[in-house]
Amino acid sequence: MAGKFVITTGKDGKDYFVLKAGNGEVILQSQGYSSSTGCTGGIESVKTNSQNESKFEYREAKDGRTYFILKANNGQEIGRSQMYKTESGYSNGMDSVAENAVNAVIVDDR
């Protein structure tokens, strides 16, 4: 099953997207966008930048779990992963974003 981007509107009125793997698990979530154009542009940026390993940035939370952010060419954060307990989970998460983003369909749930 292919991945999909799901667009929703948050309680703050901003548009958000998540990238879900074929199994339905959320593997990347966006920041808030004030316009739907910005949100769809963010999705296109994920599709492009997820194919470049240097666009992923490793982060460590205070509790020791790890996560990654995906950055655009301008250095801005496009999306953030869930928390991982192991390095292999973190690595698999990055691979999953790269694999699922390219051909993911967009589902508008606003």
**Which tokens go with 39?**
């949100």
28 contacts 6 by C-beta, under 8 angstroms:
no
**Is pLDDT above 90 for 13?**
yes
pLDDT digits (tens, 9 = 90+) for 45-97: 999 999 999 999 999 999 989 999 999 999 999 999 999 998 888 899 999 99
DSSP helix/strand/coil, 85:
coil
- Average pLDDT taken over every residue of the chain: 94
Instruction: Identify residue 28 by its one-letter amino acid code.
Output: L
CATH number, domain with residue 12: 2.30.29.80
Residue 84 sits in which domain range?
4-108
User: How far apart (Å, rounded) are the C-alpha atoms in residues 103 and 4?
Assistant: 8
- Report the domain count for the chain: 1
